[in-house]
C-alpha cells in the first residue's frame, strides 16, 4: 500500500478559505473538541474528515471499505470573539457535521448540521489545516439530496 498524502493547508483570504471549506465538508466534530483560546486569539478543533480528494480514486477494495477518513486539526488565528447559535455547550459528547465555512466582512461562519452556526470575529483570515494521522477505511461516502429532488 502506498503512503497517503496527508493534507496540510493554510488560508490567508476568502478564496483560500473556500478550498479549506471544500476539504472539510462533512467533517464530524465532537463539541468537546472545539475550543476558543482567548489569550492566544485562537479557535481550534479536531475533526474526523472525509478524504474528498481521494473519493474517486481507483483502489483495491478491502471488504466494502473503498473510501477514507482521517483526523485533522484546524485552527483559526486572530480571533477576537466567538459566538454560536444552536449549540448546546452542556452536551460535550454531541457530534456535529460541518457543512461549510464562509466569510463576510470580519466574520468567519462555520455552518453545521441541525442549523448550528459558530461565528468567529477575526482581525484577518488566518487558518491552518493539517491531517494528524494515517487515514482509515470506510464504506460510507457522505451524500446530500439535490435541491430539485422531492
pLDDT tens for 65-104 read 588 999 999 999 999 999 999 887 777 788 999 999 999 9
Q: Is 48 left (phi over 0), alpha (psi -120 to 50) or beta?
A: beta
Question: Which pLDDT value is given to residue 31?
Answer: 87
Rounded CA separation 108/121 (Å): 7
- Residue 17 near residue 11, CB atoms below 8 Å: yes
Question: Which pLDDT value is given to residue 142?
Answer: 85
Q: Is 90 left (phi over 0), alpha (psi -120 to 50) or beta?
A: alpha
Question: Which pLDDT value is given to residue 60?
Answer: 55
pLDDT (tens digit, 9 = 90+) per residue, 109-137?
A: 999 988 999 999 999 999 999 999 999 88
* pTM given for the model: 0.84
Long-range (24+ apart) CB contacts under 8 A made by 1-4 are: 4/54, 4/68, 4/70, 4/134, 4/135
Amino acid at each position: 500500500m502506498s503512503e497517503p498524502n496527508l493534507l496540510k493547508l493554510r488560508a490567508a483570504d476568502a478564496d483560500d478559505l473556500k478550498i479549506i471549506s471544500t476539504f472539510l465538508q462533512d467533517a464530524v466534530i465532537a463539541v468537546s473538541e472545539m475550543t476558543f483560546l482567548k489569550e492566544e486569539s485562537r479557535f481550534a478543533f479536531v475533526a474526523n474528515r472525509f478524504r474528498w480528494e481521494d473519493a474517486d480514486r481507483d483502489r483495491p477494495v478491502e471488504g466494502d471499505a473503498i473510501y477514507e477518513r482521517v483526523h485533522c486539526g484546524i485552527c483559526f488565528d486572530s480571533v477576537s470573539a466567538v459566538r454560536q447559535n444552536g449549540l448546546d455547550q452542556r452536551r460535550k459528547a454531541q457530534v456535529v457535521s460541518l457543512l461549510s465555512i464562509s466569510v463576510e466582512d470580519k466574520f468567519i461562519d462555520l455552518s453545521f448540521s441541525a442549523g448550528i452556526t459558530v461565528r468567529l470575529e477575526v482581525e484577518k483570515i488566518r487558518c491552518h489545516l493539517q491531517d494528524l494521522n494515517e487515514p482509515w477505511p470506510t464504506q460510507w461516502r457522505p451524500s446530500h439530496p439535490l435541491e430539485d429532488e422531492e
